[in-house]
Structure 1
Amino acid sequence: MMRDSGGRKNVHEIRNIQDMIDNRQLIAHYQQIVSVSRKMVIGIEGLIRGVNPYTDRMIAPKRLFHTAEEKKVSLELDRACREEILKDFGRVYPRNPEKMLFLNLNAAVLEDSIGSGYLLDQVEKYNIPPSHIVIEVSEKHVMNDHTLKEFVDVYKKHGFLVALDDVGTGFSNMDRILLVKPDIIKIDYSLVNNIQNDFYKQGIFKSFVILANKIGALIIAEGVETEEEAIQVLRLGGHMIQGFYLSMPGVMQELDKLYENDRIDLLSKKFKEYMSLQYKQKRNEHKKLIQVVQQAIDRLTGLSSGDFDRALEELAAEHDEMECVYILDRTGIQLSSTICDKGGSDKRENRFFYSAQKGTDHSMEKYYYPLVSSKQKSYTTEPYVSLATGNLCITISAVFENREKNRCIFCADFTTDEDSYNIEVRSSGPHASTEVQSRIVNMIKEMNKDIFKDSLTGAFDRRYIKTRLPIDMKNYQPLSVILVDIDLFKKVNDTYGHLAGDLVLKEFVTLARQCLKNEESWIARYGGDEFLIVLDHADETAADIVGEKIRSACEEADVIYEDQVINFTISLGIHSASSPSSTVDELIGKADKNLYLAKKYGRNQSYANILR
């Protein structure tokens, strides 16, 4: 508590908060929100401070709103604050009708604000269109998701934009963001502070950017105080910036300068320089890696398959930059062992991350498919998580011929630091708070899903089946599987071409997902034109109903390719596991037998044991 000049406690600081509200002993400050890509200030956020009537000193917002809550006048204070800010903005809006006002709403009065019409009356009073106001709700103070969803729906219908504020402070809930679908997600200062030196923060920030892009929201990074933080926010995909680095909060005095900012051009220039340097470095690094791969191709060309392992071991020993190397045949089957750098980067061996063995099918991998689908001699992937080591890597693949003149594909994995963050959860230590661990665990789960995705259709791949299905069989009873085959798929490829066939596969996955109502159900590409659908808590009768929906949807679908309409049908084999003692092989094997019968008896139908 503050003391006056005589050393006595100043007990009047917020003794009469109702008087402060009634007499408007409040002052509004404004901070710019900047879009660097557009090189402009897109709006301002109104921030309220109280004024101590006895000392004329500022009262911090936290103290002000806490006292209002204690005295049960939160709604009155909230409305008074909005009144001051809207009154100011109403003066500048006619001269700058393209700018936005960010207006905070106290989450404690969220329920009272639904349907009251008070905010609508306020903006109408000052002739401000709702479409130019962003209502900020502090995410960490909202405890009731239903109330939040109702509030957002009501005010969006009136034309307001809605922002979730303080996201990333430890209360953040991905499900809540997906539920509300805010127009703007404001990332809290705690996640932005020193982000350039913290890979955990970079990973979490990037996950919010990806989520925002999926739901059509914008990301604003709050509390950006340094050039380094600003550059990292932009590099990770942040759309807008707010913080002391670009502007300090200030009162609305010089209206003509309200939206001016000399630092935007400087930051834009610095960011371009940073990205240009990064690009040059990456390009030079890539040239060196291509040279290494070419040296490997020169050595491998003409060798027999039996000599591959020895040659790869020598290459791995000579080139530390190679994390893992292996060789595939022309169909994508692994011919060699996977040779990994023993003295290189950390490697995580667990049920997700392990080296592929001879005979492994890589035909659906991103480093194989482009080489067989075109006349390219080499291909470099985007960064992804290596299933051999668990590290972020790129793979460079290149074609060569062995002694027998058979076409082979050499693959080399190289670690990369592009958007990197080492996903490791420590059990102790100063940097491993429970909240951080929880967020990192969630990130791991999501990334593990992504690394088991089929690159063409977006369904899970066959490796995911081996990992997920045994777990589901233990946890969900009854459980049913549907093995699906695209009827006469080879004819589609032969008639229309492989690109048309790819469109059919994608369309099937889309239609199948639309028919899966249970969130725990999932679909995986079993191989080629076969897919496995897993239905948790579903017996064969329920599975047969789902199967018929999918079959009917496919039969009615039109796939458009180069002005041609392609129709297709599917056959389905269904089987249910009602006992935890059932094995994965038994379950899929019986579904496969039923699929065979469905095709034998004419295709375009499903077959389950209940039909016998």
Structure 2
Amino acid sequence: MDALDILTNLDHCFPYFQPVFSADEHRVIGYEILGRYNGGGQVISLGPFFQDNNIPEEYRLEVDNTVLAKALELAIGLDPDVLLFVNRDADLLIHDSGEEFLQFLLKFQEKGISLERIVLEIAMDESKDEMDHLLNYYRTFGIKIAIDKLGDESSHLDRIGQLKPDIVKVDLMPLRSMNPPPAYQDTLYSLSILARKIGATLLFKNIEMIYQLQFAWQHGGRYYQGFYLEKPLSYFIPRDILKDKLKEEFHEFIVYEKKKLESIFAITESFQVKLQEILTKNRKSMNFEELLKSLSKDLDHVALRMYICDDDGFQLSPNMFKNDGKWELQPAYTGKNWSWRPYFLENMIRMRNDKKGILSDLYCDIETGETTRTFSFPLNAHEYLFIDLTYDFLYQHDSLL
């Protein structure tokens, strides 16, 4: 595709629209505007043209504005709450402090396209510090900001926290297997927590299979986009076209998640009963070391590590640690304080008030590198037992993984 052919045939440039669906309404809430070119009867993506830095900025901007103008003209007839996602190169925006783009949009506001419906997409690797002022300026007009190009390489959490975008787009293209690496899931978990803290919405794109849709739903995605749902088209589709399908598929996701949570609850209850029986039988006649030794016999195929703390997080006992299949006491851990750990004190209060144990979420053990969960149990109002579970036990109960 020759750049000169495109520039001299702007009438052959036109928009395509890829729908964005929502989890809460199961319907189309917006469209991403994509550039296309009709070359000899073949529809070609303009993406490579826009991304070619060898083409002068003013030429790329001219084509971009041509596509956007045609798209907004077509969008005038849409429902007034439908969002319009507009991709822009950061360098093209800041060359005139963003005024040309703003004035362009204001002309269409007079025709009925509210600026509150515009979502400006900026690639994460283009989001430089000098963009902050411009993006905040756009926000005063109601324009929403989306950060794009996030996937398994996402390492920009601090930058996202600084920008506080309205929408964070996550690329699921790296999720080609049904068993993504733990680091990928951990990154998305961190991203979902950050998005919730700053009030941003997660939009997962490149969803091509149902398990990717389920993955996006499980990781806090509110908006979804991809060929599994609908490919880019030259026209707008009925907003409820997938309502029944999405409702049915999300119901399956909910049923699966409920079964998993019920299984986790059942395992937690079984730990509760088992420990109460052991402690009722032996607790009064044992010191901490004797108690841990007794527990190691009953929990030999379950536990990786056990220890006891007070309600301020100070460790009262040695570690009872399973090393190469044998249990050993580690007295060096006595007196260490663990109150700095996330949710540690909150869980202490919960256990004290509910008088019940708590099963933690999945995490990676710092010392062994093993994936684990911790079962915490109140011995009394001031002393708490912690049991780190082995990966083998988690694997035998797949709902725990």
State the TM-score bracket (shorter-chain normalisation). Answer: 0.7 to 0.9
The equivalent position to 2:361 in structure 1, one of 383, 397, 408, is 383
- The residue aligned with 1:62 is 47
- The residue aligned with 1:134 is 119
The CA deviation at 1:219 is 0.8
The equivalent position to 1:397 in structure 2, one of 377, 380, 384, is 377
The equivalent position to 2:77 in structure 1, one of 88, 91, 100, is 91
Distance 1:280 1:44, change over 3 A: same
The CA deviation at 1:188 is 2.0
Distance 1:290 1:300, change over 3 A: same
Asked if the contact 1:356/1:388 (under 8 Å) is kept, the reply is: no
* Unaligned residue ranges in structure 1 (runs of 5+): 2-12, 345-353, 402-406, 422-612
Aligned residue runs from structure 1 range 521-600, under 5 A: none
- The residue aligned with 2:386 is 411
The equivalent position to 2:289 in structure 1, one of 309, 324, 331, is 309
- The residue aligned with 1:74 is 60
The CA deviation at 1:250 is 1.4
Between the aligned partners of 1:222 and 1:38, the Cα distance in structure 2 is 18
- The residue aligned with 2:104 is 119
Distance 1:292 1:357, change over 3 A: same
Asked if the contact 2:357/2:376 (under 8 Å) is kept, the reply is: yes
SS in 1 for 2:195: helix
Distance 1:41 1:174, change over 3 A: same
Larger Rg: 1
SS in 2 for 1:197: coil
Residue type at the aligned position of 1:326: Y
The answer to whether structure 1 residue 176 and structure 2 residue 159 are counterparts is yes
1:526-549: CA deviation from partner (whole Å, max 9, x where unpaired)? xxxxxxxxxxxxxxxxxxxxxxxx
1:188-217: CA deviation from partner (whole Å, max 9, x where unpaired)? 234544475332211111111111111111
The CA deviation at 1:171 is 7.1
Between the aligned partners of 1:118 and 1:212, the Cα distance in structure 2 is 30
Asked if the contact 1:293/1:396 (under 8 Å) is kept, the reply is: no
The answer to whether structure 1 residue 288 and structure 2 residue 270 are counterparts is yes
1:475-499: CA deviation from partner (whole Å, max 9, x where unpaired)? xxxxxxxxxxxxxxxxxxxxxxxxx
Aligned residue runs from structure 1 range 223-242, under 5 A: 223-242=206-225
Between the aligned partners of 1:286 and 1:408, the Cα distance in structure 2 is 19
Distance 1:124 1:357, change over 3 A: closer
Between the aligned partners of 2:18 and 2:185, the Cα distance in structure 1 is 25
Asked if the contact 2:189/2:219 (under 8 Å) is kept, the reply is: yes
Asked if the contact 2:27/2:239 (under 8 Å) is kept, the reply is: no
Asked if the contact 1:192/1:223 (under 8 Å) is kept, the reply is: no
- The residue aligned with 2:36 is 49
The CA deviation at 1:318 is 3.7
- The residue aligned with 2:318 is 337
The answer to whether structure 1 residue 218 and structure 2 residue 193 are counterparts is no
What is the RMSD computed on CA atoms of the aligned residues?
A: 3.3
The CA deviation at 1:326 is 2.3
Aligned residue runs from structure 1 range 147-546, under 5 A: 148-168=131-151, 170=153, 173-194=156-177, 196-252=179-235, 257-261=238-242, 262-305=244-287, 308-319=288-299, 320-328=301-309, 334-343=315-324, 357-361=333-337, 365-366=344-345, 369-370=348-349, 374=353, 376-380=354-358, 382-383=360-361, 391-399=371-379, 409-414=384-389
Between the aligned partners of 1:227 and 1:200, the Cα distance in structure 2 is 22
The CA deviation at 1:157 is 1.1
* Unaligned residue ranges in structure 2 (runs of 5+): none
Distance 1:372 1:91, change over 3 A: closer
Residue type at the aligned position of 2:9: M
Residue type at the aligned position of 2:349: P
Residue type at the aligned position of 1:37: D
Between the aligned partners of 1:107 and 1:185, the Cα distance in structure 2 is 16
Distance 1:74 1:309, change over 3 A: same
The CA deviation at 1:393 is 2.1
- The residue aligned with 2:18 is 31
Distance 1:276 1:332, change over 3 A: closer
The CA deviation at 1:173 is 2.5
Distance 1:19 1:68, change over 3 A: farther
SS in 1 for 2:289: helix
Among all aligned residue pairs of Structure 1 and Structure 2, give the percentage whose two residues are the same amino acid.
22
Asked if the contact 1:327/1:409 (under 8 Å) is kept, the reply is: yes
Asked if the contact 2:347/2:358 (under 8 Å) is kept, the reply is: no
The CA deviation at 1:50 is 1.1
Between the aligned partners of 2:377 and 2:46, the Cα distance in structure 1 is 58
